[in-house]
Amino acid sequence: MSIKIFIRSIALPLIYLALFSQNLFAQNASIKFDGIDDYIQTNVPPIAGGAARTVEAWIKLTSNTDPNAGGLQNVIVDMGAMTTGSRFTFNVLFGNAIRLEVQGNGVNGTIPVNDGLWHHVVGVYNPLATNKVSLYVDGVLDIAGNFTVTANTSATGDVVIGRRVDGINRFNGNIDEVRIWNVAKTLPEIIASKNAELCNSTANLYAYFPMNDGVPSGNNTNAMIYDQSNSLKTGTFLNFDLTGTNSNFSPGKVLNPGMTVTKFNRTVCSSYTWPASGITYTTPGTYLTRKTKTNGCDSILKLNLSVATSILTSDTVSACDTFLWSLNGNSYGNSGIYVDTTIASGGCDSIVTLVLTVGTIAPTTQHITACDSYTWSVNGTQYLNSIYTSYTYTNAKGCDSVVFLDLTINKSSNNVQSINACDSYSWPANNQTYTNSGQYFALIKNAKGCDSSLTLNLTINPISKVIDNVNTCVEYTWQLNGKKYTENTRDSVVYQSAKGCDSIVVLNLKVKKVDVGVTATTNSLFAQYTGAAYQWINCSNLNNVVGASSQNFFPVLSGEYAVIVSYNGCSDTSKCFNFVSHVGIENQSETTFKIFPNPSNDQLFVEGVSNEEPVEVKIYSIHGELLKIELLNKNNSIDIKLLDQGIYFIKIDNSIQRFIKL
């Protein structure tokens, strides 16, 4: 079966608009500001520096503007920037009267203007006058005075109507006939023009917005007002509803008519010479010129020009056999590019290009990647596995069309993770941190972009901490690290438990010490530690000296003596002193050997004895009982494994040392 596909794209026909004109709305309109967010931003630059100027307008309001009575300033016209002297503001403020101010100071009037009636208000700044500021209401001088700061208006900050340049103090009421002059107007000049719209634009008229650009209370789509001075600037409505009786054009002060604005709309094919100005325009845009009417007043002419060129369109057509082009009635049997020209409804050329393909429609291939399953919209079939297939159908033109499906099906996955962690575990799958054992779940995309369900079987093994509080006498060896401590200590050991987690054992050690220092004199031995219990012993047999339990010991016989000092549950024995009756201290001698380690739980090593000959070693209990006699071996070590825990004395020759068996 032959099949034909026809695709055509044609540009919309050009609507040729004949030249027509219309006057822009009625005179005696004004702008009703809602006092909330309405304002008009113009592109009129400020009158910079301290140059002379006059700002005038017709206003009508009922709002309270006196801040001393809970009111809010209403700004009529503002220009410049927010620095001292750089802002020039015409507003209604104290006493509901008009005010002219610069940033930092102002001159306030006395006549209230918030009575709901139309008032003509004028602010004049004349740098050459004695009183540089003059305020007029309804053609009468209200007040004259001076600023206390220099007026130096910033060159930036275009004129704003109905709001201050920093966005506050919005006007709540009607404003009409805004005029800005770059000269200081006199009272006769003000009175002469206040009751009529201006008829002409003079050289000193800096900006003039008569506000006649819309229909009072109508649906006004034009969000602009137009300056009728020679500058021909514009003002843009911001935040206005432009419909209804508020935030829209409103009936204005009834004044004698002045300048008019006439609008012309024109659409042409290439260029247009405007009779009003004699200028030829080739680009679209808005153009203005000024004419003098028969009554002597100015007429501002506004041209809205649309310039169209030849319309270019393109038709792309695929046909099975031949194609009959309805545009020109020709039949084409071969592929190619064909061009025809017609006249559009607007009178401009319409050039149409036909891109024609004659023959069978080329097959198309759809490359699809899906998760788990895919339903092909071409034939409505659901596929659960990857496949390469085709489908042939007849399109609306009766031509065969073949579509190939290159389908890749990726499978979702389910995975289980078993984790053992210490104290807490942060799972990268969902960036969650867990402190309790349990089963947790997450859903992520796998490498193929399909859903992957993850199950976490989590076991949290806690970190343990054990406090070992130990009180000991003299010294302590901690079996967990083999360290010996002789002072009060806080230490810790970290090791891994059977679960592979850190375990901490903290040692809080308090060492009780007894001072066993002895001072020897000619006739006595004196224990230096005061306030303890004392027992003097005979080092030759380790027996207690009967009755020798004072701090001071007076031996009767010559010999070796030591003292056992006991205090606060701890005892220690001093070195042995060789005491010779009636002989000076210089003839006494201390023990000559040392033992280590002390305390010990298996063997002692002796230092300071000669092993050239057998050395006899005697071990006594704390009560003086002889427990063991042996010869010192070649390693100078003594086996004490079989001794019970306690305090013992070791004697070599006539020297004695105390040791502790753990």
pLDDT tens sequence across 205-247: 999 999 998 999 999 988 899 999 988 899 999 999 999 999 9
| Residue 255 and residue 194 in contact, taking contact as beta carbons nearer than 8 Å | no
Report residue 252's pLDDT band, with 50, 70 and 90 as the boundaries. very high
| Residue 44 and residue 180 in contact, taking contact as beta carbons nearer than 8 Å | yes
The DSSP line for 326-339 is TTTTEEE-S-EEEE
Please state the domain count of the chain.
6
Q: What is the dihedral of CA 217, 219, 225, 226, to 10 degrees?
A: -110
Q: Do 219 and 135 lie in a common domain?
A: yes
- Rounded distance, CA 397 to CA 228, Å? 62
Name which residue leads in pLDDT, 565 or 301.
Answer: 565
- Rounded distance, CA 514 to CA 473, Å? 8
- Rounded distance, CA 209 to CA 227, Å? 5
Q: Do 52 and 102 lie in a common domain?
A: yes
Q: Is 486 within a domain?
A: yes
Q: Do 243 and 133 lie in a common domain?
A: yes
Q: Do 403 and 457 lie in a common domain?
A: no
Report residue 22's pLDDT band, with 50, 70 and 90 as the boundaries. very low
Q: Is the dihedral of CA 183, 184, 186, 187 positive or negative?
A: positive
- Identify the residue whose tokens are 């499906």: 405
- Rounded distance, CA 515 to CA 531, Å? 11
Average pLDDT over residues 444-465: 82
Q: Is the pLDDT of residue 6 over 50?
A: no
Q: Which of 229, 207, 201, 231 is nearest to 292 (CA)?
A: 201
Q: Do 406 and 419 lie in a common domain?
A: no
Q: Is the pLDDT of residue 447 over 50?
A: yes
Where is the domain boundary, 478, 512, 546? 512
- Rounded distance, CA 603 to CA 315, Å? 111
The pTM of this model reads 0.47
Q: Do 550 and 438 lie in a common domain?
A: no
Q: Is 324 within a domain?
A: no
- Rounded distance, CA 125 to CA 52, Å? 6
Which tokens hold the place of 552?
């001071």
Q: Do 457 and 555 lie in a common domain?
A: no
**In percent, how much of the chain has pLDDT > 70?**
90
Q: Is 300 within a domain?
A: no
Q: Do 35 and 100 lie in a common domain?
A: yes
Using only C-alpha atoms, the chain has a radius of gyration, in whole angstroms, of: 56
Q: What is the pLDDT of residue 19?
A: 44
Q: What is the pLDDT of residue 593?
A: 82
Q: Do 108 and 187 lie in a common domain?
A: yes
Name which residue leads in pLDDT, 428 or 51.
Answer: 51
Q: What is the pLDDT of residue 310?
A: 62
Name which residue leads in pLDDT, 419 or 522.
Answer: 419
Buried b (16+ CB within 10 A) or exposed e, 463-483: eeeeeeeeebbbbbebeeeee
The range of the structural domain enclosing residue 398 comes to 364-410
Name which residue leads in pLDDT, 426 or 320.
Answer: 426
Q: Do 99 and 158 lie in a common domain?
A: yes
469: β partners? 508
Q: Do 427 and 525 lie in a common domain?
A: no
Give the 3-state secondary structure of residue 190.
Answer: helix
Reported in sequence order, the residue ranges of 474-501 that DSSP labels E, i.e. its strands, are 476-478, 483-485, 489-496
Q: Do 162 and 178 lie in a common domain?
A: yes
Give the 3-state secondary structure of residue 251.
Answer: strand
